[in-house]
Structure 1
């Protein structure tokens, strides 16, 4: 009997925890506003009673929790990770060849940097198109189509002969690239156990840094020894591997449950269009303010990323005279720091909170701006990117927990890419302002990019600290379609281990098995931090 009571007590706590993560429409009454802002600093810190659920081994060994993943979950994680990695590789092939492309097309560095800006500006279009398709039709085909388009466009970039052709193919590249982040994040994280999401978020996000690292290596091996065009041809072929891999895999369990729920609701309404509109109105009513916040947050993140990366190779070679070998070492060190930072900080976010982890990493980045910009070497590059990409490592799971579950690919992708749109002129701004600071005696066309990038990054870090400090957090929220179901009545059956529950609204909900709301008996409380 005591065991029976214990089981019921555990699940009542789980249900209260589940309901606490439901996003409610914003309330603009003065008590609500003052209460929210008054709680921003206290809620940075995880309560001690929650931390007591973890052992020191959980904290110090970031990989111990990964044994909970099944082979199916690993498969979907790596599908998302590798596509996102190669997406970054394709993007950075231009950043690493700005000078080479400028010489080949008889243009200035500033003009070629507009190709980077154009990609960032048009990524939102791809996020809208493929995000909606991914949330309503499945993530498999948007994934395959995106990678296919990227491969074709990379081949086209390798054949360009004029500046106008270069801008045209990069514009198309931006649309294709924009659809991948939301799709890949959903593939990688949707089915993963709660305890593993922090570190997996960091590993997934640092696919971006790993893609940059691979681009640096193949830049040295291919472009620096033959032609910059060959590295674009090489990048186009690898995407076919991931396309084939994805073709033979089904949809994630999370999406299959979402699809089933949608089809059942659409059947009761006798219209899929009506059901889609109903879900859209409901999600917008609950999440509209959080969506705006996500865009503002992602603007800061993208400014920090592109402001510290896009012109960094140009700064090393044009301003400080680094040869290919020294530049390669510095860029490799930067991306090793990014990979380590992303994994470590994202893992710690499970225990110290998403916002506090981001703030800590941003402060580290801000403290290292001076040596990174004025004493460039492998150490300063490693340290700054540890901070910048350490904060970024928390982004996939932080965005996923804040986004409406039925439109997660769309909202995470569009928030990310609208942030990219806001930051799209980062490299062009830095290049333009840098031209106002020519280095005396260094010859024509040599500018003090270090000074410009230091001022730029200082402003970005200050903005990011403010926006994260004032923002919300939904750490530990379920990622499935069941997340916004209000649970208020339940019973536990020993024979089938199912929860019977009703929603406290007009909509009826089918019986959920425990795993659908991550309430495995005896494990949820320990995972709820």
Structure 2
């Protein structure tokens, strides 16, 4: 329960402002909601007045508010999310090599990527419910144990069917990582630091991609077993994280949630209480959860559409060597990391939705240099496009946490993210398929061939159109959507009765103190 008496008047009013209520689809409510879509993009002046100029312009100043315990939880979540991305991009960076070894086409291998994305929602449901009910520790550990075993197995596949089989299981295990790790990293985070921590956490994805690029160059490109070595190496990285998590307790926020649950379950069974809480949460947050899936579909199309086939564009269409391709992808991910930190922090002061809309507009301006330049200028295009793509993603962890029901944060956040992945799962396959309609021709009119004899397609054109369309979709979905910036992330977030009573009394007291209005007539 909230200690109402210890809260200031401002804190009580702020709390009530963020309480979520079951939606009412009356014409009046719909009109009111629609009329506030533009004005609600901006952060009110009184809210901005709480922050100093240093806090606004220096994203690292607010990090001093985190305790060592909070940093520990953040690093646990960030590290596993980084490893998750590393494991995923092991395939993206080796589509050509895997296709050659398994005697299939690049498009066939992209189905392995698609299969992973399709099945991640299954893992999100399983591990999300497990984490919200019993704690984040064992879902976290189980995920990493499974990923370790599957990465080892992927390195030993000899047929295309075996490859698809292990990637399908990998997708289920991988699906549980995001919701669990996001909850661990964000739950105990101080309010002022949420934006920058959100950006830092999300860039575990870019860090994972960057490390995969580096170790691809060191291991896969320089060992006898090639791409298989990279999978075996990635499997060992999970072991220290498993040990670290085993000796770490649950977050303070989850402990409070569990205590509240146990108190309510004294009069009924725990299974029944959990079911009732789920019904109540879906009644209040059901529409928001559906919106979150549509939003995350756009974000995932934006990410996978700009990344998964990009190494193929560089190496096959543009003929970049391994060194130049690695440098270009590394520069792109450095842009992603910078963008996540900058835009995640900016969302606290610009608003979550407005920050993403700005990112989409500026990202759209970077499409041409990212896709069509053939000289070193493409690196600048790659840097800035990923700055805005992954900068938008830097807003996602905290935006999802603020919109999700506190007692089901791991489940709703993880499932929304992974259902968005499911919707976007065919991004690379769609791009590869459409790209085959645009072969590149030599001056003599014959299709241009790669060194291996395969036809070279115009992936630049395909990916540019695809990413441009996704930016437009995300702008629309963010404009019409809700925002709950600054909401409490604890189990007390939707408590209203005791606070509302005090606020009513304060407002009545303020009315009583107002002097009588005297009207005078001018003669």
TM-score between the two structures when normalised by the length of structure 2: 0.91
The 3-state SS of whatever aligns with 1:243 is helix
Q: Once the 2 structures are TM-superposed, how far is the Cα of residue 487 of structure 1 from its aligned partner?
A: 4.7
The CA deviation string for residues 24-50 of structure 1, in whole angstroms up to 9 with x for no partner, is 111111111011011001110111122
Match of 2:150 in 1: 153
The 3-state SS of whatever aligns with 2:8 is helix
The 3-state SS of whatever aligns with 2:237 is helix
Q: Structure 2 CA distance, aligned partners of 1:43 and 1:92?
A: 37
Q: Structure 1 CA distance, aligned partners of 2:46 and 2:74?
A: 31
Match of 2:205 in 1: 208
Match of 1:261 in 2: 260
Match of 2:232 in 1: 233
Query: Is the alpha carbon distance of 1:378 and 1:183 closer, same or farther for their aligned partners in structure 2, counting shifts above 3 Å?
Result: same
Residues 1:462 and 2:472 are matched in the alignment: yes
Q: Once the 2 structures are TM-superposed, how far is the Cα of residue 503 of structure 1 from its aligned partner?
A: 12
Match of 2:137 in 1: 140
Q: Structure 1 CA distance, aligned partners of 2:361 and 2:400?
A: 21
1:265-344 matches, within 5 Å, as: 265-269=264-268, 271-344=269-342
Structure 1, unaligned runs of 5 or more: 1-6, 491-500, 505-529
CA contact (8 A) 2:12 2:503 kept: no
Match of 2:512 in 1: none
Q: Structure 1 CA distance, aligned partners of 2:177 and 2:212?
A: 18
Q: Once the 2 structures are TM-superposed, how far is the Cα of residue 488 of structure 1 from its aligned partner?
A: 3.1
CA contact (8 A) 2:12 2:499 kept: no
The CA deviation string for residues 472-499 of structure 1, in whole angstroms up to 9 with x for no partner, is 0000001111111115359xxxxxxxxx
Match of 1:411 in 2: 412
Q: Structure 1 CA distance, aligned partners of 2:6 and 2:303?
A: 46
CA contact (8 A) 2:216 2:230 kept: yes
Match of 1:198 in 2: 195
CA contact (8 A) 1:123 1:177 kept: yes
1:101-500 matches, within 5 Å, as: 101-226=98-223, 227-269=226-268, 271-375=269-373, 377-441=378-442, 442-443=448-449, 444-489=454-499
The CA deviation string for residues 3-36 of structure 1, in whole angstroms up to 9 with x for no partner, is xxxx989712211110111111111111110110
The 3-state SS of whatever aligns with 2:158 is coil
Q: Structure 1 CA distance, aligned partners of 2:17 and 2:235?
A: 46
Bigger mean CA offset, 364-373 vs 226-235: 364-373
RMSD: 1.6
The CA deviation string for residues 371-409 of structure 1, in whole angstroms up to 9 with x for no partner, is 111115211100100010000000000000000000000
CA contact (8 A) 2:435 2:457 kept: yes
Q: Structure 2 CA distance, aligned partners of 1:163 and 1:8?
A: 65
The CA deviation string for residues 231-281 of structure 1, in whole angstroms up to 9 with x for no partner, is 000000010110000000011111111111111101122x11110111011
CA contact (8 A) 2:369 2:380 kept: no
Structure 2, unaligned runs of 5 or more: 443-447, 505-523
Q: Once the 2 structures are TM-superposed, how far is the Cα of residue 327 of structure 1 from its aligned partner?
A: 0.2
Detail structure 1 runs of 4+ shifted over 2 Å in the superposition.
7-10, 487-490, 501-504
Bigger mean CA offset, 73-82 vs 7-16: 7-16
Query: Is the alpha carbon distance of 1:100 and 1:414 closer, same or farther for their aligned partners in structure 2, counting shifts above 3 Å?
Result: same
Q: Structure 1 CA distance, aligned partners of 2:472 and 2:43?
A: 24
Out of 43, 67, 89, the residue aligned to residue 86 of structure 2 is: 89
The 3-state SS of whatever aligns with 1:483 is coil
Out of 35, 38, 50, the residue aligned to residue 38 of structure 1 is: 35
CA contact (8 A) 1:485 1:503 kept: no
CA contact (8 A) 2:131 2:410 kept: yes
Q: Structure 2 CA distance, aligned partners of 1:449 and 1:68?
A: 46
The 3-state SS of whatever aligns with 1:482 is coil
Query: Is the alpha carbon distance of 1:169 and 1:502 closer, same or farther for their aligned partners in structure 2, counting shifts above 3 Å?
Result: farther
CA contact (8 A) 2:93 2:213 kept: yes
Match of 2:72 in 1: 75
Q: Once the 2 structures are TM-superposed, how far is the Cα of residue 361 of structure 1 from its aligned partner?
A: 1.0
Quick check: which has more Rg, 1 or 2? 2
Q: Structure 2 CA distance, aligned partners of 1:94 and 1:337?
A: 22
Match of 1:515 in 2: none
CA contact (8 A) 1:19 1:487 kept: no
